[in-house]
Structure 1
């Protein structure tokens, strides 16, 4: 009987100990034993499932004969913006950079900081100061809602951010957009892999540090077209609220990449505040991803909606481009149209053909299809400032509002130099999927 009571006591003790703090009992269970977070679809993005497709021309190649060879490739799953990046989205980036510069270089007011020198109980023990963006939102730097004394003090400190002297028009206070520059750093993983056995290299050799003026070039509406009265587009396209949902243009490839870095850091800051894991970085799509997503899961089609025609059965044009010989407005838009115009393709992506052509992360090489891998193919090249211009070519996809129908084809590829801005080139972002395919229900 005593033995039975003893066994019961041992059993109860084991159960109670099992209900308490978990131990590994000397077994290898893994460093991170928390359950994996649920896969989230980033806001405004569509899920693009993994798959294989025949990349390259499906129709005649009328401009670059014999350079767009077809090749079967496989693309891993990823997320892509449903629309082109709009003026209002890019303006959020510009305003964030503007306010950061105003706070750190001009105001120097401790109330805008969370840090060792700020008058706040949440002082950072490392001594670094960080902008308190919650305080900035409730106390806007440029708003008339600020108290009179604070507004006058802030205005006097920020005066040097305005155009000075003869650069002023009617003595108005206008921010000197040349001052709005974004500093960032990012790893060059391909170069790190290429030189991983080179003992003379340091980690810093594979970190790209860049400073980019982020305000778009609004003069592209004039510089892109000779003898065209596009002054109203210069004056209002990026700044006027009526164009807020139109695609941003006048951004260089470097500006577009800077936006992806900022968007990544912006999301990571939110995740950190809630102790959540980071999602994969935002990037520009490479050209294989763009073509694969544009096809929408269809095989051998000319256009994102299928094809081979740019009109539907009712005779309506299906994209914003240049139909005929200069009849720009026949498709419903003389210039660009809103980013959610026309019907999306089968992946839920809008304007993968037409409206604005789009930057990709891929460097342009006429024969790239012959040497890139058949698994997640891309050709990247980080051109130095002093290199020849031919090394700074980046692939542009999708065709635009001023292009003829050929350039709207899924397989059509063109290029532009990374430091140039155009009135017909914009961009959208992707973020790469981490974890199992969403189609996997196991």
Structure 2
């Protein structure tokens, strides 16, 4: 397989730009497409062989639901009874994205451990050991929770319960593994990789999406790679692997940002009216109420009783009061003394379960008390530490001992002349500098530091206050508890409205004199 020399091909940037030049027809189809800029034919070896895939929508990855983006007021929705005031409301916009329908379950995480054990245990046993959840989080000095220590993660009775005892670092590593497994299966289904490789991977020859696109994965080509169609061939006829531009692989799974998580939890799509004749194809640009909980369609948080007797039923798993985790025998309120199965309770209007209650969840952000004031109002996020592909002295790409493409941190020297950022590590951006005029003493006089990560949503052992999507707490990224789990998200490419929709408003062309 020929190694690529363009970094943009490896990271998948520019895919939409290449697709936008397509007019009609498929990749290497009978009708040759041509460039609207130069007139040269696409997918024609005699015309240079520039490959352009047929424009296609992004399909939804396993376990995900589509979240149409928009504007909302991020932050507090009720009185700040904790006195923190670390969630000051601020209006921002979030791009469309995908998020898991439910929290990552025990059986999902055990599948991950199985793969790590099979691929790395003989040569790198610490990879498997470091991924194990901390089951001792169930222990307490003055409680008998040993059955949960022994059985909660392993027993099949808890297969579909949310995994807990997982740190932020472990959750991030799980998301990377999940990305590779999903993309590997997509390539096998497309006939570009042989399914015989499933049981033959180990150590540095395990599938990694970026290493594959860089030509570093030594996998067995599938039938499509050898087909007479030469759909995945270089201009000289030599075979090539799929690239992100071919539209076969998906973007990476990752932890959601705090803004994405909060926006998805509120589910405001249910408050915009459906398209009507009066409004044409657009809904009304309106946030009707500042709802308190994720399941609510009004500010009281109650469901419409005309569609079912919801009044009086618990719509989330939380602690009603001191010593009351599930109610009384014969009348259990939320029917769960600990976390409940991940598809329990009422989903919000995006179709997402347990954004209020069950377990709190890790998000990608580094915690700061007043971070929303400083942050961008478009796709707000704090935690950027920019990276690029590592190249050795011969300017060639390398993979590490676990089969992953080597990456390196972007240096301040590389960033100094840029207009949009001047440092590679901007986690501390605006911390105590001349622009913010604030000095927090992170990691010196404060418990908050660069390893403090945001956790969102209330848990089975929290009072109702923490169930509000605007509430936020933090924990160190290498710590874990029995109340914190996680779910994954994915970038959305293409139309923000979803598949089969165009980006931007379109109008009829005006007639012009020739």
Interval of TM-score (by shorter of Structure 1 and Structure 2): 0.5 to 0.7
- RMSD over aligned CA atoms reads 2.5
1:390 aligns with 2:408: no
CA 1:21 to 1:439, structure 2 compared with 1: closer, same or farther past 3 Å?
closer
CA 1:23 to 1:377, structure 2 compared with 1: closer, same or farther past 3 Å?
closer
Deviation at residue 34 of structure 1 after TM alignment? 2.5
Greater gyration radius: 1
| Alignment of structure 1 residues 150-165 onto 2, 5 Å | none
For residue 269 of structure 1, the aligned residue among 181, 184, 190 is 184
Structure 1: how far apart are the matches of 2:317 and 2:105?
16
Deviation at residue 65 of structure 1 after TM alignment? 3.5
Aligned length: 318
| Contact 2:368–2:448 under 8 Å retained in 1 | no
CA 1:338 to 1:21, structure 2 compared with 1: closer, same or farther past 3 Å?
closer
1:22 aligns with 2:32: yes
CA 1:420 to 1:20, structure 2 compared with 1: closer, same or farther past 3 Å?
closer
Gaps of 5+ in 2: 1-28, 43-49, 193-246, 272-286, 304-309, 328-333, 386-424, 428-442, 503-514
Task: Indicate the SS of the match to 1:90.
Answer: helix
CA 1:34 to 1:66, structure 2 compared with 1: closer, same or farther past 3 Å?
closer
Deviations 1:56-102 (A, max 9, x none): 11111111433321111111111110000000001100110011124
| Alignment of structure 1 residues 229-378 onto 2, 5 Å | 229-273=144-188, 274=190, 275=192, 277-297=248-268, 298=271, 299=287, 300-306=290-296, 308=299, 314-330=311-327, 331-378=334-381
For residue 441 of structure 1, the aligned residue among 473, 498, 501 is 501
Deviation at residue 439 of structure 1 after TM alignment? 6.3
Please name the residue that 1:430 is paired with: 489
1:67 aligns with 2:86: yes
CA 1:315 to 1:72, structure 2 compared with 1: closer, same or farther past 3 Å?
same
Task: Indicate the SS of the match to 1:52.
Answer: strand
Deviation at residue 359 of structure 1 after TM alignment? 0.1
| Contact 1:97–1:180 under 8 Å retained in 2 | no
Structure 2: how far apart are the matches of 1:374 and 1:20?
47
1:217 aligns with 2:134: yes
CA 1:36 to 1:100, structure 2 compared with 1: closer, same or farther past 3 Å?
same
Structure 2: how far apart are the matches of 1:20 and 1:333?
60
CA 1:28 to 1:51, structure 2 compared with 1: closer, same or farther past 3 Å?
farther
Structure 1: how far apart are the matches of 2:133 and 2:301?
31
| Contact 1:399–1:408 under 8 Å retained in 2 | yes
Task: Indicate the SS of the match to 2:91.
Answer: strand
Structure 2: how far apart are the matches of 1:20 and 1:38?
22
Please name the residue that 2:229 is paired with: none
CA 1:53 to 1:234, structure 2 compared with 1: closer, same or farther past 3 Å?
same
CA 1:328 to 1:35, structure 2 compared with 1: closer, same or farther past 3 Å?
same
What TM-score do the two structures reach when normalised by structure 2?
0.58
CA 1:57 to 1:96, structure 2 compared with 1: closer, same or farther past 3 Å?
same
| Contact 1:180–1:215 under 8 Å retained in 2 | no
Deviation at residue 422 of structure 1 after TM alignment? 0.5
Structure 2: how far apart are the matches of 1:245 and 1:101?
26
CA 1:71 to 1:263, structure 2 compared with 1: closer, same or farther past 3 Å?
same
Normalized per residue, the structure richer in helix is 1
Deviations 1:121-157 (A, max 9, x none): xxxxxxxxxxxxxxxxxxxxxxxxxxxxxxxxxxxxx
| Contact 2:178–2:253 under 8 Å retained in 1 | yes
Task: Indicate the SS of the match to 2:98.
Answer: strand
Please name the residue that 1:138 is paired with: none
What TM-score do the two structures reach when normalised by structure 1?
0.67
| Contact 1:310–1:405 under 8 Å retained in 2 | no
CA 1:268 to 1:325, structure 2 compared with 1: closer, same or farther past 3 Å?
same
Deviations 1:276-299 (A, max 9, x none): 622111010011001100001144
Structure 2: how far apart are the matches of 1:370 and 1:79?
26
Structure 1: how far apart are the matches of 2:67 and 2:33?
40
For residue 382 of structure 2, the aligned residue among 365, 373, 379 is 379
| Alignment of structure 1 residues 390-429 onto 2, 5 Å | 390-391=448-449, 392-429=451-488
Structure 1: how far apart are the matches of 2:164 and 2:300?
27
Deviation at residue 355 of structure 1 after TM alignment? 0.3
Structure 2: how far apart are the matches of 1:302 and 1:234?
34
CA 1:324 to 1:309, structure 2 compared with 1: closer, same or farther past 3 Å?
farther
Structure 1: how far apart are the matches of 2:115 and 2:164?
19
